[in-house]
Amino acid sequence: MTQTDPPIRPDAPILVFDSGVGGLTVLDALRRILPQAPVIYAADNAGLPYGEKSEAEIAARVAGLLGRMTERFQPRLACIACNTASTIALGMVRDVLNIPIVGTVPAIKPAAAMTRTGVIGLIGTGATIRQGYVDRLEAEFAADKTLLRLAAPGLVAAAEAKLRGEAVDPAIVAQTLSSMRAMEGGERIDTLVLACTHFPLLADELSGAFGPQVSLIDGADGIARRIASLTQGQPFGRTRPDTALFTRAEAGLSALKPALAARGLDRVEVL
Protein backbone atom coordinates (compact mmCIF):
# COMPACT_ATOMS: atom_id res chain seq x y z
CA MET A 1 0.00 0.00 0.00
CA THR A 2 1.20 3.51 -0.73
CA GLN A 3 -0.04 6.92 0.35
CA THR A 4 -1.86 7.31 -2.94
CA ASP A 5 -4.02 4.21 -2.37
CA PRO A 6 -7.72 5.01 -1.79
CA PRO A 7 -8.89 4.80 1.84
CA ILE A 8 -10.00 1.36 3.07
CA ARG A 9 -13.79 0.95 2.89
CA PRO A 10 -15.24 -0.08 6.27
CA ASP A 11 -16.96 -3.07 4.70
CA ALA A 12 -13.86 -4.31 2.84
CA PRO A 13 -13.53 -7.89 4.09
CA ILE A 14 -10.61 -9.87 5.35
CA LEU A 15 -10.36 -12.92 3.09
CA VAL A 16 -9.45 -16.11 4.95
CA PHE A 17 -8.52 -18.93 2.58
CA ASP A 18 -7.98 -22.67 3.03
CA SER A 19 -8.59 -25.87 1.10
CA GLY A 20 -11.37 -26.77 3.51
CA VAL A 21 -12.56 -26.06 7.05
CA GLY A 22 -9.08 -25.91 8.60
CA GLY A 23 -8.81 -22.16 8.22
CA LEU A 24 -11.76 -21.83 10.60
CA THR A 25 -9.23 -22.38 13.40
CA VAL A 26 -7.50 -19.20 12.25
CA LEU A 27 -10.86 -17.45 11.92
CA ASP A 28 -11.67 -18.44 15.53
CA ALA A 29 -8.51 -16.70 16.71
CA LEU A 30 -9.24 -13.69 14.52
CA ARG A 31 -12.80 -13.38 15.86
CA ARG A 32 -11.43 -13.26 19.41
CA ILE A 33 -9.33 -10.18 18.73
CA LEU A 34 -11.10 -8.52 15.79
CA PRO A 35 -14.80 -9.43 16.07
CA GLN A 36 -15.85 -6.33 14.16
CA ALA A 37 -13.96 -7.29 10.97
CA PRO A 38 -16.09 -8.34 7.99
CA VAL A 39 -14.87 -11.72 6.75
CA ILE A 40 -15.15 -13.87 3.68
CA TYR A 41 -14.07 -17.40 4.47
CA ALA A 42 -13.10 -19.21 1.29
CA ALA A 43 -12.63 -22.98 1.11
CA ASP A 44 -11.32 -24.62 -2.05
CA ASN A 45 -13.26 -27.80 -1.40
CA ALA A 46 -12.97 -28.71 -5.09
CA GLY A 47 -9.21 -28.94 -4.52
CA LEU A 48 -9.24 -30.63 -1.10
CA PRO A 49 -6.94 -32.23 -0.02
CA TYR A 50 -4.02 -30.02 -1.00
CA GLY A 51 -1.66 -32.22 0.95
CA GLU A 52 -1.80 -34.97 -1.67
CA LYS A 53 -1.19 -32.65 -4.64
CA SER A 54 1.98 -31.57 -6.37
CA GLU A 55 3.66 -28.25 -5.66
CA ALA A 56 2.87 -26.99 -9.18
CA GLU A 57 -0.79 -27.89 -8.86
CA ILE A 58 -1.14 -26.22 -5.45
CA ALA A 59 0.68 -23.06 -6.54
CA ALA A 60 -1.47 -22.72 -9.66
CA ARG A 61 -4.77 -23.26 -7.78
CA VAL A 62 -3.95 -20.95 -4.91
CA ALA A 63 -2.61 -18.10 -7.04
CA GLY A 64 -5.50 -18.42 -9.51
CA LEU A 65 -8.25 -18.55 -6.89
CA LEU A 66 -6.85 -15.77 -4.74
CA GLY A 67 -6.50 -13.62 -7.85
CA ARG A 68 -10.15 -14.18 -8.79
CA MET A 69 -11.43 -13.67 -5.29
CA THR A 70 -9.41 -10.51 -4.75
CA GLU A 71 -10.77 -9.03 -7.94
CA ARG A 72 -14.33 -9.90 -7.03
CA PHE A 73 -14.43 -9.10 -3.29
CA GLN A 74 -11.75 -6.39 -3.01
CA PRO A 75 -10.51 -7.60 0.39
CA ARG A 76 -8.31 -5.32 2.49
CA LEU A 77 -6.07 -8.30 3.32
CA ALA A 78 -5.91 -11.99 2.52
CA CYS A 79 -4.83 -14.70 4.92
CA ILE A 80 -3.72 -18.03 3.52
CA ALA A 81 -4.94 -20.07 6.49
CA CYS A 82 -3.32 -23.25 5.21
CA ASN A 83 0.21 -24.44 5.89
CA THR A 84 0.38 -26.44 2.67
CA ALA A 85 -0.59 -23.49 0.46
CA SER A 86 1.54 -21.03 2.42
CA THR A 87 4.74 -23.05 2.47
CA ILE A 88 4.43 -23.54 -1.29
CA ALA A 89 2.79 -20.43 -2.71
CA LEU A 90 3.09 -17.53 -0.27
CA GLY A 91 5.93 -15.78 -2.12
CA MET A 92 4.23 -16.19 -5.46
CA VAL A 93 0.89 -14.85 -4.21
CA ARG A 94 2.60 -11.86 -2.60
CA ASP A 95 4.29 -11.10 -5.92
CA VAL A 96 1.04 -11.00 -7.86
CA LEU A 97 -1.50 -9.48 -5.45
CA ASN A 98 -1.45 -5.88 -4.41
CA ILE A 99 -2.84 -6.36 -0.87
CA PRO A 100 -1.18 -7.57 2.32
CA ILE A 101 -0.99 -11.37 2.43
CA VAL A 102 -0.60 -13.15 5.75
CA GLY A 103 0.55 -16.76 5.58
CA THR A 104 0.54 -19.67 7.96
CA VAL A 105 3.80 -21.37 8.75
CA PRO A 106 4.56 -24.24 11.10
CA ALA A 107 5.08 -23.02 14.67
CA ILE A 108 8.62 -24.41 14.91
CA LYS A 109 10.09 -21.30 16.52
CA PRO A 110 7.76 -21.27 19.56
CA ALA A 111 7.97 -25.06 19.81
CA ALA A 112 11.76 -24.84 20.04
CA ALA A 113 11.40 -22.36 22.89
CA MET A 114 8.93 -24.64 24.70
CA THR A 115 10.47 -28.10 24.47
CA ARG A 116 12.26 -29.40 27.55
CA THR A 117 13.31 -32.76 26.13
CA GLY A 118 14.60 -31.21 22.89
CA VAL A 119 12.39 -33.49 20.79
CA ILE A 120 9.59 -31.84 18.83
CA GLY A 121 6.99 -33.69 16.78
CA LEU A 122 5.49 -32.01 13.75
CA ILE A 123 2.38 -33.27 11.99
CA GLY A 124 1.24 -31.78 8.71
CA THR A 125 0.25 -32.80 5.23
CA GLY A 126 2.62 -34.78 3.04
CA ALA A 127 3.15 -31.70 0.89
CA THR A 128 3.97 -29.46 3.86
CA ILE A 129 6.47 -31.68 5.61
CA ARG A 130 8.67 -32.01 2.51
CA GLN A 131 8.96 -28.25 1.89
CA GLY A 132 12.28 -26.40 1.93
CA TYR A 133 10.39 -23.74 3.87
CA VAL A 134 10.15 -26.20 6.77
CA ASP A 135 13.84 -27.13 6.39
CA ARG A 136 14.72 -23.45 6.69
CA LEU A 137 12.56 -22.94 9.81
CA GLU A 138 14.18 -26.00 11.35
CA ALA A 139 17.70 -24.78 10.52
CA GLU A 140 16.98 -21.29 11.82
CA PHE A 141 15.07 -22.05 15.01
CA ALA A 142 15.55 -25.70 15.93
CA ALA A 143 19.05 -26.63 14.78
CA ASP A 144 19.91 -27.82 18.28
CA LYS A 145 16.68 -29.82 18.64
CA THR A 146 15.33 -32.98 17.07
CA LEU A 147 12.35 -32.31 14.81
CA LEU A 148 10.38 -35.41 13.83
CA ARG A 149 8.04 -34.78 10.90
CA LEU A 150 5.05 -36.96 10.12
CA ALA A 151 2.47 -36.71 7.36
CA ALA A 152 -0.99 -37.23 8.83
CA PRO A 153 -3.44 -36.91 5.92
CA GLY A 154 -6.09 -38.98 7.69
CA LEU A 155 -6.50 -36.19 10.23
CA VAL A 156 -7.60 -33.74 7.51
CA ALA A 157 -10.55 -35.93 6.55
CA ALA A 158 -11.30 -36.56 10.24
CA ALA A 159 -11.43 -32.83 10.98
CA GLU A 160 -13.71 -32.23 7.99
CA ALA A 161 -16.01 -35.01 9.20
CA LYS A 162 -16.03 -33.67 12.76
CA LEU A 163 -17.26 -30.26 11.59
CA ARG A 164 -20.02 -31.97 9.63
CA GLY A 165 -21.14 -33.45 12.95
CA GLU A 166 -19.74 -36.93 12.31
CA ALA A 167 -17.79 -38.97 14.86
CA VAL A 168 -14.00 -38.97 14.69
CA ASP A 169 -12.58 -42.45 14.18
CA PRO A 170 -10.27 -42.97 17.20
CA ALA A 171 -8.12 -45.34 15.10
CA ILE A 172 -6.93 -42.42 12.94
CA VAL A 173 -5.70 -40.47 15.95
CA ALA A 174 -4.19 -43.60 17.52
CA GLN A 175 -2.33 -44.29 14.28
CA THR A 176 -0.82 -40.80 14.34
CA LEU A 177 0.36 -41.34 17.91
CA SER A 178 1.89 -44.74 17.22
CA SER A 179 3.65 -43.59 14.03
CA MET A 180 5.12 -40.60 15.83
CA ARG A 181 6.24 -42.63 18.83
CA ALA A 182 7.81 -45.25 16.53
CA MET A 183 10.20 -42.70 15.00
CA GLU A 184 13.68 -42.59 16.44
CA GLY A 185 13.46 -40.38 19.55
CA GLY A 186 9.66 -40.31 19.28
CA GLU A 187 9.20 -41.45 22.88
CA ARG A 188 10.78 -38.19 24.05
CA ILE A 189 8.45 -35.81 22.20
CA ASP A 190 7.05 -33.24 24.62
CA THR A 191 5.87 -30.64 22.09
CA LEU A 192 3.72 -31.33 19.05
CA VAL A 193 3.46 -28.76 16.26
CA LEU A 194 0.08 -28.86 14.52
CA ALA A 195 1.38 -27.79 11.11
CA CYS A 196 -1.97 -28.02 9.35
CA THR A 197 -4.81 -25.68 10.18
CA HIS A 198 -7.26 -28.59 10.25
CA PHE A 199 -5.54 -30.23 13.21
CA PRO A 200 -6.51 -27.84 16.05
CA LEU A 201 -10.09 -28.96 15.30
CA LEU A 202 -8.93 -32.32 16.71
CA ALA A 203 -7.03 -30.84 19.68
CA ASP A 204 -9.15 -32.75 22.22
CA GLU A 205 -8.64 -36.06 20.44
CA LEU A 206 -4.90 -35.44 19.92
CA SER A 207 -4.22 -34.37 23.49
CA GLY A 208 -6.26 -37.30 24.75
CA ALA A 209 -4.02 -39.64 22.73
CA PHE A 210 -0.64 -37.98 23.34
CA GLY A 211 -1.34 -37.33 27.02
CA PRO A 212 -0.86 -34.34 29.30
CA GLN A 213 2.95 -34.40 29.06
CA VAL A 214 2.81 -33.34 25.40
CA SER A 215 1.95 -29.70 24.61
CA LEU A 216 0.20 -28.98 21.34
CA ILE A 217 1.07 -25.79 19.51
CA ASP A 218 -0.27 -24.09 16.41
CA GLY A 219 0.09 -20.70 14.80
CA ALA A 220 -3.49 -19.38 14.86
CA ASP A 221 -3.13 -16.77 17.61
CA GLY A 222 0.06 -15.39 16.08
CA ILE A 223 -1.60 -15.10 12.67
CA ALA A 224 -4.58 -13.29 14.17
CA ARG A 225 -2.28 -10.86 15.95
CA ARG A 226 -0.43 -10.21 12.70
CA ILE A 227 -3.71 -9.46 10.90
CA ALA A 228 -4.79 -7.14 13.72
CA SER A 229 -1.51 -5.30 13.55
CA LEU A 230 -1.64 -4.90 9.76
CA THR A 231 -5.19 -3.53 9.92
CA GLN A 232 -4.72 -1.38 12.99
CA GLY A 233 -6.49 1.97 12.73
CA GLN A 234 -8.64 0.88 9.77
CA PRO A 235 -12.42 1.38 9.87
CA PHE A 236 -14.63 -1.74 10.13
CA GLY A 237 -18.35 -1.94 9.44
CA ARG A 238 -20.42 -4.77 7.96
CA THR A 239 -22.90 -4.07 5.20
CA ARG A 240 -23.71 -7.74 4.53
CA PRO A 241 -23.49 -11.00 6.43
CA ASP A 242 -20.10 -12.67 6.61
CA THR A 243 -19.93 -15.36 3.98
CA ALA A 244 -18.45 -18.83 3.56
CA LEU A 245 -17.50 -19.36 -0.06
CA PHE A 246 -16.84 -22.79 -1.55
CA THR A 247 -15.41 -23.70 -4.94
CA ARG A 248 -17.78 -26.64 -5.47
CA ALA A 249 -21.38 -27.31 -4.52
CA GLU A 250 -21.57 -30.66 -2.73
CA ALA A 251 -23.94 -32.50 -0.46
CA GLY A 252 -21.77 -32.10 2.66
CA LEU A 253 -22.09 -28.32 2.64
CA SER A 254 -25.45 -28.26 4.36
CA ALA A 255 -24.08 -30.40 7.21
CA LEU A 256 -21.35 -27.78 7.70
CA LYS A 257 -23.79 -24.91 8.15
CA PRO A 258 -24.08 -25.13 11.97
CA ALA A 259 -20.27 -25.00 12.36
CA LEU A 260 -20.11 -22.07 9.95
CA ALA A 261 -22.96 -20.21 11.64
CA ALA A 262 -21.30 -20.74 15.02
CA ARG A 263 -18.40 -18.73 13.60
CA GLY A 264 -20.61 -15.94 12.30
CA LEU A 265 -20.60 -17.18 8.69
CA ASP A 266 -24.27 -16.79 8.07
CA ARG A 267 -24.25 -17.00 4.32
CA VAL A 268 -22.96 -19.85 2.17
CA GLU A 269 -22.09 -19.30 -1.49
CA VAL A 270 -20.41 -21.27 -4.24
CA LEU A 271 -17.87 -19.44 -6.38
Q: Rounded CA gap, 126 and 153, in Å?
A: 7
Q: Determine if 48 is a binding residue for ligand DGL (CB under 6 A).
A: yes
Q: How far is the CB of 24 from ligand DGL (least distance, A)?
A: 10
Which C-beta is closer to ligand DGL: that of 12 or that of 80?
A: 80
82 flagged as catalytic: yes
Q: Which is nearer to ligand DGL, 76 or 198 (CB)?
A: 198
User: Does 82 help bind ligand DGL (rule: CB under 6 A)?
Assistant: yes
Instruction: Please report the DSSP string for 56-105 in residue order.
Output: HHHHHHHHHHHHHHHHHH--SEEEE--HHHHHHHHHHHHHH-SS-EE---
Residue among 125, 10, 16, 9 at smallest CA distance from 69: 16
**Which DSSP symbol is given to 128?**
H
Interface with ligand DGL in residues 110-129 (CB under 6 A): 125, 128
Q: In this chain, which of 13, 17, 19, 193 binds ligand DGL, going by CB under 6 A?
A: 19
Among 13, 22, 106, 219, binds ligand DGL (CB under 6 A): 22
Region for 165 from its dihedrals, namely left if φ exceeds 0, alpha if ψ lies in -120 to 50, beta otherwise:
left
Q: What are phi and psi of 50, to 5 degrees?
A: -65, -35
Residues touching ligand DGL, count (CB under 6 A): 17
Q: Is 79 a catalytic residue?
A: no
Give catalytic residues, as residue numbers: 82, 196
Sites of contact with ligand DGL (CB under 6 A): 18-20, 22, 48-51, 82-84, 125, 128, 156, 196-198
